[in-house]
Chain A
Amino acid sequence: DGGITQSPKYLFRKEGQNVTLSCEQNLNHDAMYWYRQDPGQGLRLIYYSQIVNDFQKGDIAEGYSVSREKKESFPLTVTSAQKNPTAFYLCASGTGGSLNYGYTFGSGTRLTVV
């Protein structure tokens, strides 16, 4: 079945560590996105990529980095520069074509700083 897979489901990070969140899709979607969700807040865009080997900063990119070496994969690294990384991280993909199609989300990664 086609879908989008995020791993791990739960991740604990120590202060000062970098961690990488995985996102893989087999939907043949060109566009992929990373969002962060905090309690009581809407989803905020971190980074997005419309095609392989290209990505753009979203609204809250500071302290994060991404790569898009393959169409299927869009990993997110949360660096030590991100001061408040505890959140629910959601990866999404979309066709980038018709405006009437929404995005498909992965099941998310809950990151906690310990």
Chain B
Amino acid sequence: RKEVEQDPGPFNVPEGATVAFNCTYSNSASQSFFWYRQDCRKEPKLLMSVYSSGNEDGRFTAQLNRASQYISLLIRDSKLSDSATYLCVVRRRPSLGNEKLTFGTGTRLTIIP
């Protein structure tokens, strides 16, 4: 089983709609969680960290469920510019002074005019 799993999509969503992605992780020792956005042929860019209490940044809401080991990203009022691949990222420290960041393969989102 992969350490981080995402539905690869593609998700084709009309402009203005709400879309949600889930991501599951297998290691219960995972300590912090992120969503990154990656445009075609570009580097990943941090979209938001995911906190235990859930957090919101404008149209984006992230949730964490530690008991079920999944995180989610909700995008409201989607814009054409939201079209990208969204990467789920999980971080843990297997030993002192050592850390491991594991990336999901990404979910591709296309917003349709």
Q: Which of A86-104 contact B (CB under 8 A)?
A: 88, 90, 96, 99-104
Q: Write out the residue numbers on chain A whose beta carbons fall within 8 Å of the beta carbon of B106.
A: 42
Q: Are A102 and B49 in contact (CB under 8 A)?
A: yes
Cα(A51)–Cα(B91), bound, Å: 19
Q: Which of B43, B45, B91 contacts A99 (CB 8 A)?
A: B91
Interface size of A by CB at 8 A reads 23
| Beta-carbon contact of A99 and B105 below 8 Å | no
Assess A50 versus B43: contact at CB under 8 Å? Given A41-B105, A99-B31, A102-B89. Answer: no
- A106 interfacial contact with B, CB 8 Å: yes
Indicate whether A45 sits within 8 Å of B101 (C-beta atoms), given known contacts A99-B31, A100-B49, A102-B36: yes
Q: Which residue from chain B places its CB closest to the CB of A41 in the assembled complex?
A: B105
Question: How many residues of B sit at the interface, in one of the four size bands?
Answer: 20 to 34
- A105 interface residue (CB < 8 Å to B): yes
A41: B residues at CB distance < 8 A: 105
B4 and A42 within 8 A (CB): yes
Contact of B4 with A105 in the complex, beta carbons under 8 Å: no
Using a CB–CB cutoff of 8 Å, the interface residues on chain B facing chain A are 4, 8, 31-32, 34, 36, 41-46, 49, 51, 87, 89, 91, 93, 97-106
Residues of chain A touching chain B, judged by Cβ–Cβ distance below 8 Å, are: 31, 33, 35, 40-43, 45, 50, 56, 88, 90, 96, 99-108
